[in-house]
Amino acid sequence: MTTDLEPLDPATGREMYLDERSHELADATIQSHRYRLKQFVQWCDQEGIENLNDLSGRDVHRFRVKRRNEDDLATATMKGQLATLRMFLRFCATIDAVEPGLDEKIILPTTTAEDAREEMLSAERVEKVLEHLEKYRYARLEHTLFEVLWHTGLRVGAAVGTDVEDYNADEQFLELVHRPEQGTSLKNGKASERFVALNDRVCSVLDDWLEVNHPGTVDDYGREPLFATQRSRLSKNRARTIAYQYTRPCIYDEQCPHDREIEDCEAQPTAYAHACPSSLSPHPIRRGAITYSLQSGIPEKVVSDRMDVGPSVLDRHYDQRSKKEKLDQRRQYLPGNGISSSSNQRDK
């Protein structure tokens, strides 16, 4: 072991790392790193590793095996946790707490296309979430946001970038506009601008939100955000927290599938909802909405245009229909089966 190392306990090292990264990472990302490294710090405590100077490649391997086998993590989750640990050890090397190159001994698991597409909010589960929100938070910010995200499949950045004037209640649509100079850009720029049709249910909730609960907030550009808090436009970070908060099973089922004591669970505080193994960010909500649309028989071209996702990406990351399901749905569009070709027109 290098003699130039300076003693540092794992918990203090974690706080130093988080403080250093807080200047470059979003708050939600810092919270995620805090949770991931908490597992490592606890493991060090259990193993009697009080000084990071003593950490070896073999120790890192033992931690990896423990997380993989005992905690039964999904491959994608495991990869994320180890990637954070690798960055942490790289930082520790710069402050002479661990040997240089220790981070390179962490082997990240390989994720496949199946791993990338497996995490999504199912239709059955979102029904429970929406039932809970409708009962306890009807037409408030959280309920309204969830209804729009699920029924439109919008990216969270697109949703929070809309204004009150972008909502047309009479014709039931949202207009998405690329406004990068005012802090609300769309992922694909001008190409992402479009009209998104809304159903009666979403419009009813939006109407009640605007009439009763919308705070009337105006942003720094004189715009009235459709999704707003008392002080500002809803941020993407806050929207993500809402997603994590209400996709925890204990919220809508009042029980924990992970055998945790709900009152003592580290994911119970809203700020740490992401620490729940079952909580989901907005992207799995979008993935679930897209998949549900495809499974409901909506033509791929319509889904592609409506959700602003290319056909190849749609097929690779979202389409979970079986070959037989695809066959049965294509059969509906054969001549003489009663579906007009107008059904294939673009729904923007």
Q: Are 173 and 197 in contact (CB under 8 A)?
A: yes
In 48-112, which residue ranges form alpha helices assigned H by DSSP?
Answer: 57-69, 75-94
Strand order in the sheet with 167-168: 167-168, 173-176, 194-197
Q: Are 200 and 171 in contact (CB under 8 A)?
A: no
Identify the residue whose tokens are 């259990």: 46
Torsion of CA 283, 281, 246, 305, to 10 degrees: -10
Q: What pLDDT was estimated at residue 348? A: 44
What backbone torsions phi and psi does residue 85 show, to the nearest 5 degrees?
Answer: -60, -40
Q: Determine which helix (DSSP H) or strand (DSSP E) holds 126, and give its type and residue range.
A: helix 123-136
Q: What pLDDT was estimated at residue 307? A: 85
Q: What pLDDT was estimated at residue 107? A: 79
Q: Per-residue pLDDT for the chain (348 aa), expressed as one digit of tens each? A: 445 899 999 999 999 999 998 887 777 678 878 988 998 999 999 999 999 999 999 999 899 888 877 665 667 677 778 888 989 999 999 999 999 989 888 877 755 544 444 578 889 999 999 999 999 999 999 999 999 999 999 999 999 999 999 999 999 999 999 999 999 999 889 999 999 999 999 999 999 999 999 999 999 999 999 999 999 999 998 999 999 999 999 999 988 888 888 887 878 888 888 888 889 989 899 989 998 888 888 888 888 888 888 887 777 666 656 677 667 766 766 666 554 444 444 344
Cα angle 315-319-320, degrees, rounded to a multiple of 5: 140
Helix (H, G, I), strand (E, B) or coil at 196: strand
Q: Residue 311: what residue type?
A: P
Superfamily for domain range 123-275: Intergrase catalytic core (1.10.443.10)
Measured CA to CA, the distance from residue 69 to residue 166 in angstroms comes to 50
CATH 1.10.150.130 fits 10-111, yes or no: yes
Q: Map out the domains of the chain as residue ranges.
A: 10-111, 123-275, 282-344
